[in-house]
Amino acid sequence: MKQKFDIIQSTCVPLPLENVDTDQIIPARFLKATTRDERFFGENLFRDWRYDAEGNPRPDFVLNNPTYSGQILVAGKNFGSGSSREHAAWAIAGYGFRVVISSFFADIHKNNELNNFVLPVVVSEEFLSELFVSIQTNPKTEVKVDVPNQTVTNLSTGHSEHFDINGYKKYCLMNALDDIDFLLENQSKIEAFESRR
């Protein structure tokens, strides 16, 4: 949902797997909805890793482990590959995550997160592995994501990194504006383009 971004400080949920694809984030059978009910998608986030075929929680999966909680998901390299389904971003948002940290995101999914006011933060491999270690040693490890200054800090070690985001998107996130608001204001430019081609 449209929420203004500023500084987010939170504990993290670690998912130290690479190539987590959107079919795992939200399996295809949950794509039949015709509404954007984020709560529904959030309840089914990582469905098949989270629950067995009978619907019982799998105790070994991190979302079922009360030790870990928070608004930040920390995932291995190449997060969100595969299908373009925005339902994956809705599920992440619906579960309550506002930030996903990884060393690498798949393109379409990254845009989908941004369009749903979930911030994908790209960090270096070193920062990511250190963060996994910090969380493992101390599950209460907090991370501070400072959107205005574009920095991410592992508060256990104090290590900080700059992250990229273009000025336009940053403005949108900090003011809770979406792309469609912007495009609708630009209708005359579109018409001018159509008539000159």
Provide the Cα torsion 131, 137, 141, 146; round to 10°. Answer: -10
Nearer to other proteins by Cβ, of 81 and 134: the residue is: 81
Q: Which residues make Cβ contacts (< 8 Å) with residue 94, sequence separation at least 6?
A: 37, 38, 39, 40, 41, 42, 43, 45
Stretch touching other proteins by CB under 8 A, among 27-35, 58-66, 67-75, 138-146: 27-35
Q: Which two tokens stand for residue 112?
A: 């989908």
Q: Which two tokens stand for residue 75?
A: 């995932």
Measured distance CA(150)–CA(169) in Å, rounded = 12
Nearest distance from C-beta of residue 102 to other proteins, angstroms: 11
According to CB under 8 A, which one of 17, 133, 155, 177 is a site residue for other proteins? 17
Measured distance CA(130)–CA(83) in Å, rounded = 29
Q: Say whether residue 65 binds other proteins (CB under 8 A).
A: no
Stretch touching other proteins by CB under 8 A, among 62-70, 80-88, 136-144, 150-158: 80-88
According to CB under 8 A, which one of 9, 10, 16, 69 is a site residue for other proteins? 16
Q: Say whether residue 1 binds other proteins (CB under 8 A).
A: no
Q: Which residues make Cβ contacts (< 8 Å) with residue 140, sequence separation at least 6?
A: 11
Q: Say whether residue 60 binds other proteins (CB under 8 A).
A: no
> Going along the chain, which residue ranges are E strands?
7-15, 72-75, 99-102, 119-122, 142-146, 151-154, 160-162
Q: Say whether residue 183 binds other proteins (CB under 8 A).
A: yes
According to CB under 8 A, which one of 11, 44, 71, 116 is a site residue for other proteins? 116
Nearer to other proteins by Cβ, of 49 and 68: the residue is: 49
Write out the residues near other proteins by the rule CB under 8 A. Answer: 16-19, 21, 23-24, 27-29, 31-36, 48, 53, 76-78, 81-87, 89, 104-108, 111-112, 115-116, 125, 129, 166-169, 178-180, 182-184, 186-187, 189-190, 193-194, 197
